[in-house]
Copies of this chain bind each other. A is one copy, B any other.
Amino acid sequence: MPRFTEFETYDVRFPTSLDLDGSDAMNADPDYSAAYLILRTDTGDGLEGHGFAFTIGRGNDVQTAAIEALRDHIVGLDVDAVLGDLGGFWKSLVHDSQLRWLGPEKGVMHMAIGAVVNAVWDLAAKRAGVPLWKLLSDLSPEQIVDLVDFRYLTDALTREEALEILYAAVPGRAEREKALRERGYPAYTTSPGWLGYDDAKLVRLCHEAVADGFTQIKLKVGADLDDDIRRLRLAREAVGPDIRIAIDANQRWDVADAIDWIKALTPYDVWWVEEPTSPDDILGHAAIARAIAPVRVATGEHVQNRVVFKQLLQAESLSFVQIDSARVAGVNENIAILLLAAKFGVPVCPHAGGVGLCELVQHLSMFDLVAVSGSTESRVIEYVDHLHEHFLDPVVIKDGHYVAPTRPGFSAELDAETLCDFRYPNGKIWTDLEKESAK
């Protein structure tokens, strides 16, 4: 009987703070990092499962330790049994009564579960010989709902309602898959808008974004209102009236501040405002959403789990659901969130960027298109042009669209050299930086 035999973790960090890539009102100097996992089996096919949690530097060691704490939850298990019941496997991790105390279902421990679950899905797709989006899209509605834990969701979404949504999407699957393979999935770009970039760089990158075929860009805001107004005006002049401009405050405001600040920016035709306040503040988001209409609220990259997404939808706190591939407990929980969004008729526009978040989350949106919501209406996946070169199957953007991956797996695999060079603190990149700073 083939078993999971190896569980290898890596603390990988990229010194992105040197260039202020990724800088925003709350995250001044992130070092984009991955707490990274490789799973191996003794099946003899040489296939591995890769998964990771994304962090922004300090604490990536804690995140790696949390993944390590799950070693005994998979090493030694029968590979076919795990892959044959990925809903049950998910529960065996999330419902571990002792580990549950550390959340429950939130923060470091929950993200660690996400890394393990995603690594297993990477392996599952490689064994099936298809990209993850295709593996998921070919499951039956029953197989899909079996992946979902409906605990704490049934007041908003039952298994039966989820089946109805999925069955309604079955007839159009083939046609939408064909269209997806031809046109890809719409993207928007955040690359112009980092707070640490000067005006000239902002304007240059805005022009490039339009030339590259993007129809939506995003600007970071929230540090200084006058700066925001100037940057938004420059961006609007650069992209013209037909390109959507979203803004992102990265949780900078209290409720009243958010409302005032957003109203001051409304004249510049804002498509959505993202993370206006604490990701935990369901009622606060709802109050903001009511006050700033017709500007709409988007949130989700820091939303801890499906229970909070459920409430954001119930309270009409948001108009766009921003799933993240590595914040909640992996593919299974994101399927639950896609189903919740479909139930409430709210479009999913994933958060991406970071390390490998674009690579991962495209699969979830493509599955959503083929088998769940059946639509790309008002839906875009975030795109940030950092660090893709480190992945074996990097995202491909063409005319402002994500091209559907064809390589088997979850596109999660970092280059072996990168894993070695960027390992913290002893990889070459970091020891070189230390030598330099010692000069």
Contacts and interface: CB of A to CB of B under 8 A. Distances in A.
Interface string A89-119: 0000000111111111111111110000000
A319 interface: no
A155 B104 contact: no
Contact of A104 (B154, B251, B282): B251
B66 A62 contact: yes
A179 interface: no
Interface in A125-174: 151-155
Contacts of A104: 251, 278-279, 302
Describe A's contact surface by its main secondary structure: loop
Given A108-B108, A284-B152, A31 B63 contact: no
A98 B59 contact: yes
A280 B254 contact: no
A100 B279 CA distance: 12
User: Can you tell how many copies of this chain the complex includes?
Assistant: 2
Interface residues of A, number: 61
A410 B151 CA distance: 38
A99 B256 CA distance: 26
Nearest to A73: B58
A375 interface: no
Given A55-B101, A69-B61, A99-B59, A152 B108 contact: no
B26 A97 contact: yes
A351 to B, nearest CB: 13
Interface string A300-327: 0010110110110011000000000000
B109 A59 contact: yes
Interface of A: 26-31, 55-59, 61-63, 65-66, 69, 96-112, 151-155, 251, 254-256, 277-284, 287, 302, 304-305, 307-308, 310-311, 314-315
17 contacts: A27-B100, A56-B98, A59-B69, A62-B62, A65-B65, A66-B108, A106-B106, A107-B107, A107-B108, A152-B281, A152-B284, A153-B254, A154-B255, A155-B256, A280-B307, A282-B283, A283-B311
